Structure 1
Amino acid sequence: MNMNLPNILTILRLLAAPGVVIMFLYFNRPWADWFALVLFVTAALTDFLDGYLARAWKQESKLGAMLDPIADKAMVVIALLVITGFSGMNPWILLPATLIMFREVFVSGLREFLGDTAGTLKVTPLAKWKTTAQMVAIALLFATGAFEHYFGMQSIGMSQQIVTDVLARRIPDELGLIWKYQGMIISWWAGITVLWLAGVLTLVTGWDYFRKAQPYLKDAR
């Protein structure tokens, strides 16, 4: 195996995928949210870096070509499972997450079935945008979890009317509830919007792969 720097970065990204779950197993929130966010963003940045270095240094290899899409899928699927769990199975997250995971399983199965002809299903620019949208959405939703925890913890003991008055600036905001609430709302809607965009791109690219594979799925006559 060619263990150059691009491949090492890819392997580290693959190992970071289950690391997101570990953050929530061994740390309390909001630290788990922040640690998972930093780990996920750092790993996502290596997705660009390893490919760039491999091309720039002419170190592209079969190992890297094999591990890169696996690392991307592992990161996205595991992070979506975590987010779906702590969101309480919110349908705004559950539906696009289901579409994304279904597509990843479908395309992986399609590649496995095609075997040597799987090269016909090369990663397209639109698929790369799909992956980018997924990672941006997941990072935003991890941030939402952190803001939500801070807001919830610091508003404990307050009546709903007091919280409403603070957010409406009718009484002083001594605990910084306003910026935490705004961070929670902005990151939530931004994350949901990008996640649904990723869901749409997921369907489009999945259909494109299926269309390209159709000639190899016909029975001989």
Structure 2
Amino acid sequence: MARRHDDMQASFTPSGFTPSWVDARARAMFQSLAMVHAPSLTTRSRLIWNLPNLLTYGRVLAVPAVTALLFWHTENWMRWLALAIFAAAAITDYFDGYLARAWQQQSTLGRMLDPIADKLLVAATLLMLVHAGTIQSWSIWAAIVILCREILVSGLREFLAELRVSVPVTALAKWKTTVQLVAIGFLIAGPAGEVVLPGTVSIGLWLLWIAAGLTIYTGWDYMQAGMKHVIDDAPFGDGGGSSP
């Protein structure tokens, strides 16, 4: 009975709480499993906190900073600071993807956050520029076109992702993004920029209209590419579901 009692006692091992009656082979298996799972957690942490993702996080954090400076701007330096933050965020839009590919640090989190960060930055800044009166009158329609296109393409991409269909970004779409960011940069400078470069706001508005035109063209391309899959894959008469 004493021996049986000793066999039923439990002991602590490096792999955790293990009964003493479990043989050495089982304990070795538990230890090997613990060693296998430890690196996976480390790898996951590295994927979350790698430099490309940190740049994307910074772009998300730039959104409230830029919007706050434009909302409460009372001095020219606030416009310049907003422009500096916006420009830095726009530059990271290129480097996060480039570094992720160059360093083999692509992650699902990064692929999800990257387009979200871009759209948050553009949409929030355009809304604040309308609020500040920098974008007004007919030019508001250019901002509306850009915002509607972003929502449309995002919804289309989400739907196509369920079908495992990817729509590649065209060269013209990249030019659209560049013109759009430059236009917003001029408009952020706004009245402060007029002191240094007269016509800053006018340049920004003209570029915004050009970006809106490119937005319509590239948006139509995306719609043509996406609707083919929507029509081919959707059952006839399906009314679809309601959004959550």
TM range (shorter): 0.7 to 0.9
Contact conserved, 1:144 with 1:183, CA < 8 A, in 2? no
* Alignment correspondent of 2:15: none
The one-letter code of the counterpart of 1:220 is P
Does the C-alpha gap of structure 1 residues 95 and 118 become closer, same or farther in structure 2, counting only changes over 3 Å?
A: farther
* Alignment correspondent of 1:15: 61
Paired-residue identity, %: 45
1:127-166 pair list within 5 angstroms: 127-147=173-193
Name stretches of at least 5 consecutive residues in structure 1 with no aligned partner.
149-179
The one-letter code of the counterpart of 1:79 is T
* Alignment correspondent of 1:217: 230
1:95-114 pair list within 5 angstroms: 95-114=141-160
Contact conserved, 1:92 with 1:192, CA < 8 A, in 2? no
- Secondary structure of the 1:145 match is helix
The one-letter code of the counterpart of 1:23 is L
Q: Does 1:183 align with 2:197?
A: yes
Q: Distance in 2 between matches of 1:50 and 1:17?
A: 17
Q: Does 1:192 align with 2:205?
A: yes
* Alignment correspondent of 1:162: none
Contact conserved, 1:80 with 1:97, CA < 8 A, in 2? yes
Does the C-alpha gap of structure 1 residues 67 and 212 become closer, same or farther in structure 2, counting only changes over 3 Å?
A: same
Does the C-alpha gap of structure 1 residues 112 and 55 become closer, same or farther in structure 2, counting only changes over 3 Å?
A: closer
Q: How many residues align?
A: 188
The one-letter code of the counterpart of 1:183 is L
Does the C-alpha gap of structure 1 residues 10 and 191 become closer, same or farther in structure 2, counting only changes over 3 Å?
A: same
* Alignment correspondent of 2:75: 29
* Alignment correspondent of 2:217: 204
Q: In the alignment, which of 76, 85, 93 is matched to residue 39 of structure 1?
A: 85
1:38-57 pair list within 5 angstroms: 38-57=84-103
Q: TM-score, normalised by structure 1?
A: 0.77
- List, as ranges, runs of 4+ consecutive aligned residues in structure 1 with deviation greater than 3 Å: 24-27
Shift of residue 125, structure 1, vs aligned partner: 2.0
Q: TM-score, normalised by structure 2?
A: 0.71
Shift of residue 115, structure 1, vs aligned partner: 3.7
Shift of residue 47, structure 1, vs aligned partner: 0.9
- Secondary structure of the 1:217 match is helix
Shift of residue 139, structure 1, vs aligned partner: 0.5
Structure with larger RCO (C-alpha < 8 A, sep 6+): 1
Between structure 1 and structure 2, the one with the greater Rg is 2
Contact conserved, 1:21 with 1:78, CA < 8 A, in 2? yes
